[in-house]
Structure 1
């Protein structure tokens, strides 16, 4: 793994809207409709949340990229006991089990 990642856009995550699209959305007014000021205030908060989410996604993608760049690939740890130690333990078990070492 070389750490190379493609920075994805919100659309690539399946997010349909962005802050600008929400901001530019125009709703027609109708008789006995919603209070336009209340809708605008609510949409303003949604826009702020979207901007925060987009910033967070970008930050996390950059941190992931940096973490992968800085990751150290370590070689596998060598076995604790070497072959001579293993053979000695086998001989001791043979003596214990059969009274003498084989071979």
Structure 2
């Protein structure tokens, strides 16, 4: 099951927290959120690169499969075919000299 990503760096940046008398240090929270934003940006960039690479590889695979289907493999010659061709060539080259 693919889980959709709910956060991005803009949502993290714009997140507001309630303030209280004995709350967390605002500077520490801001610094931590900045680190999270950087990670999300890096994650999003890497995800987009991997998606693009995945699409390119799928296209390459499809093109390769098409090329293989259009390339005809030559039929291998059997020994009988080779001997028959050789015999015909000898008859053509030497003609009546073979019967002598």
Give the gaps of 5 or more residues in structure 1.
1-11, 79-103
Count residues in correspondence. Answer: 65
- Equivalent in the alignment of 1:51: 41
Alignment of 1:68-87 (within 5 A): 68-71=58-61, 72-73=64-65, 74=68
State which of 17, 21, 24 in structure 2 corresponds to 1:34. 24
Greater RCO structure (CA 8 Å; 6+ sep): 1
- Equivalent in the alignment of 1:19: 9
CA RMSD of aligned residues (A): 1.8
TM-score, normalized by length of structure 1? 0.58
TM-score, normalized by length of structure 2? 0.59
Whose helix proportion is higher, 1 or 2? 2
- Equivalent in the alignment of 1:62: 52
Question: Deviation at 1:28?
Answer: 2.0
